[in-house]
Amino acid sequence: MSLGEVPDTFYRPHVSLAVFETTRPELVGSELAAVLGPAIGLRLTLGPLGFFLTKESLAFLGIVPTRRFLDIHHRTVERVKPLVEHFWPYYDIDNLVGHCTLAVGVHDHSRVAEIVAETQLPIPATVRSIDVVELPSGRCAVPVAGAHSGA
């Protein structure tokens, strides 16, 4: 199911730089503002279709890594890790598979591939907003930078 179809959530296609637990999202947001503010306007190239074969079963478009994207991720992890608990190792420095999540709970990989094949790849994208987001709702807990959806 696409992110827009997940019941009772506010998800849209997105790029995650870190996933963690915290009781202080405002602190995390304020720490990240200086690091991530300059990422507004960052151009990304979304290329290959992929799937994480985990229980969440995500479909994604891979991000062509650039030095600037990897530097922003590195600085994000350095700022966030000391402030939070249960930092997901998938997002640690040297573990990141940069991606834009398209769908969750994917069981028919060939159908997703058919749909994506109708789109001209690669897709140029631009970072418009940065938020600390609550899971599992996808609701914005703390806006960090840029234009926010209000979700």
Q: What is the pLDDT of residues 107-141, one digit of tens each?
A: 899 999 999 999 999 999 999 999 998 887 778 89
Helix or strand (DSSP H, E) at 73:
helix 67-80
Q: What is the pLDDT of residues 60-97, one digit of tens each?
A: 999 999 999 999 999 999 999 999 999 999 999 999 99
Q: Is residue 151 part of a domain?
A: no
Exposure b/e, 74-105, CB count within 10 A at least 16 = b: ebbbebbeeebeebeeebeeeebebbbbbbbe
- Check which CATH number belongs to the domain holding 68 and give it: 3.90.1140.10
pTM exceeding the 0.75 threshold for the entire prediction: yes
Closest by Cα among 10, 1, 92, 99 to 52: 99
HSE on the CB side for 127, CA within 13 Å? 22
67 belongs to a structural domain: yes
Domain-embedded: residue 13:
yes
Q: Number of folded domains in the chain?
A: 1
Q: What is the pLDDT of residue 151?
A: 46
Q: What is the mean pLDDT of the chain?
A: 89
SS3 148: coil
Owning domain of residue 17: 3-145
